[in-house]
Amino acid sequence: MRTRSAIVCMDGDDHLETITVRDLQTGEEQAEKTSHVFVFIGAQPLTTWLDGQVARDDRGFVLAGPDLLHGGSRPPGWTPPRDPWPLETSVPGVFAAGDVRAASVKRVASAVGEGALAVTLIHQYLERL
């Protein structure tokens, strides 16, 4: 297990033979023999455009539902006389579903399910306006 590391080079003739792993803290690079790599990219949230609008955790994932309550207190600026519903963000009536939500499962099936639930909750929210 290499934490804070990145593959910076992949070498081989007709198939992968060697990868170079860089330690992102020290900059030290080390070659490792391997013939297989599982590419797991694309898991970072692109949510900086929500700055100052929707509460996020320190990694940029959108906080929703019970994750917004700190010591039982509702998020700053929250006006409805109720706690945020599941999937509801710090902006009442705005819901987050799928990978972008903090503490979500990060799987296709759960993202689809959360999307369906969010639609139901939006209808519920609009009916109560």
Verify binding: residue 40, ligand FAD, rule CB under 6 A: yes
Among 42, 52, 76, 81, binds ligand FAD (CB under 6 A): 42
Verify binding: residue 98, ligand FAD, rule CB under 6 A: yes
Among 2, 70, 82, 107, binds ligand FAD (CB under 6 A): 107
d(CA 86, CA 123): 14
Count of residues interacting with ligand FAD (CB under 6 A): 13
Neighbours of 83 (CB within 10 A): 15
Verify binding: residue 1, ligand FAD, rule CB under 6 A: no
d(CA 64, CA 78): 12
Among 2, 70, 82, 106, binds ligand FAD (CB under 6 A): 106
d(CA 60, CA 58): 6
- Long-range contacts: 5-8, Cβ < 8 Å, 24+? 7/37
Which amino acid would we find at residue 32? Answer: E
Verify binding: residue 36, ligand FAD, rule CB under 6 A: no
Angle at 40 between CA 17 and CA 3, to 5 degrees: 80
CB of 46 to ligand FAD, least distance (A): 5
The binding site for ligand FAD (CB under 6 A) comprises 40, 42-43, 46, 49, 98-100, 106-109, 111
